[in-house]
Structure formats: structure tokens, C-alpha cells
Structure 1
Amino acid sequence: MNFGTGEKVYEKDEGVLLDSELLPAAVKCWFTVQGRGLPLSMKIRNEEGEIQTMAPIFTDTFQKLRYGGVPLWRYQCRVFQEGIEKSFCLYFYPEEGKWRVGK
């Protein structure tokens, strides 16, 4: 006998990376009255150990996900640095208040 909630708990093709493939990020974020977060800028440590600032961040898509009962907000973002557009995913864990960025 199988039991289910009717919700998709895990889908491999949704593009969520494992925690080991994510880098910690310090994100400046605006939270709206409705509780939606809008990332404005972020700082990450690069491979050389230097802190790199990325601003402004443009959010293309936003998804509220849940994996194994853990809520996760996924932002598909882009930023312009030195005239080059870079796309990346930002992940926010609301229970922990932590941000991660895809490598």
C-alpha cells in the first residue's frame, strides 16, 4: 500500500544543485509586504579568496520549492559585470535564513 500527498517532493530535472555544489553568499534583499524576497545585490568569495560584489541583480524567475519537507526559494538571476551578462541561480533557505549561489 502506498501513501502520497499529491505533491511532487523531488524532481531531478528542476535544476536544484546539491549543497556541496553551492557557494555561500551574502545577499542584500528587499522583502515585500506579501513576503516575497527580491535580491538586490550579493557578495561572494571567489576562488582566490577575494570578496566579489555583484550588483544590481535582475531576477528573471522565482519558485518556491520544497525538498524533503525543507522549503527552498529558487531565483534565476542575471547580473552585468564588466559589460558581460552572467546568469546564475540563487537559493534561499527561509528556515535557516541562508543564501547559496550555484558555482
Structure 2
Amino acid sequence: MAFGTDIHMEKADAGSIRGEQEDIAVGCWFTSRGDTSLQLLKYQDEEGQIHTIRHIRVMSREEKHYNGIPTLEYICRIEEGGYEAEIKLLFFLEEHRWAMIKQTEKGAAGGFLT
């Protein structure tokens, strides 16, 4: 007699990442409970200039699987040059790699593409 104890135990896969990924550097601390505290991020623009952002406010954090790859997805508000923007950061758990998702024209009006 089967009771289905192992059915639907895995989280749903979020599919493919939509939008252009840009590799970035992120400085973060880990709390005593293992939570992350994002301190700064660095990215390189099209002209090759490196930008450092220190004002980061995490709005949400969610564990996701993109095509089976375990990922932490952060929606953040950042302040740069007097402007505030909402960005999406991804941390790929197996690769220990950070990426920022660039907005496309379609995503600019309606938020981020995921």
C-alpha cells in the first residue's frame, strides 16, 4: 500500500533564466544563522568602467531552481548616483557565482524577466 510520502517533495523548477546575465562581484557577510547580508556589488559597464554600489536593500530572497540548478534569487533596491533602482541578483549555489539580470525593453515597463 503506497501512501505517497515522496511525492512532490522537490520544489518546482523555474525553467530558464530570461534576460541577459551579467557576471558581477558581490561582497557579503554571513550571519551566525547562515543568512546573507549583502554589503556591496561591483559591475563593469559597456565602456569598461567599474562601478561599486554600497547602498543595497534586499526586498526579497527566494530559493529557486533554474533548469535544475539551485539558485538564490534576490530582488534588491540599490542607490547609485542619486537614483534608486530595483535589480535582480542571482547566486548560483554550486558555482559560487553571482549574476545580475539586465532588464530588456519588455521587462523595463513590467519589471524583471525571470
Aligned residues: 96
In structure 2, list runs of 5 or more residues that go unmatched.
1-5, 103-114
Q: How does 1:1-103 map to 2 (within 5 A)?
A: 5-6=7-8, 7-11=10-14, 17-18=17-18, 21-103=20-102
Change (3 A) 1:5 1:33: farther
Q: Post-superposition shift, 1:9? A: 2.8
Q: Is the 8 A contact 2:77 2:86 kept in 1?
A: yes
Q: What's the TM-score, normalizing by structure 1?
A: 0.80
**Root-mean-square deviation over aligned CA pairs:** 2.1
Gaps of 5+ in 1: none
Structure 1 residues 17 and 29: alpha-carbon distance in aligned structure 2, compared to 1, 3 A threshold: same
Deviation string 1:48-92 (CA, Å, 9 cap, x unpaired) is 111111112110101011234321000000111122111100100
State the TM-score, normalizing by the size of structure 2.
Answer: 0.73
Larger radius of gyration: 2
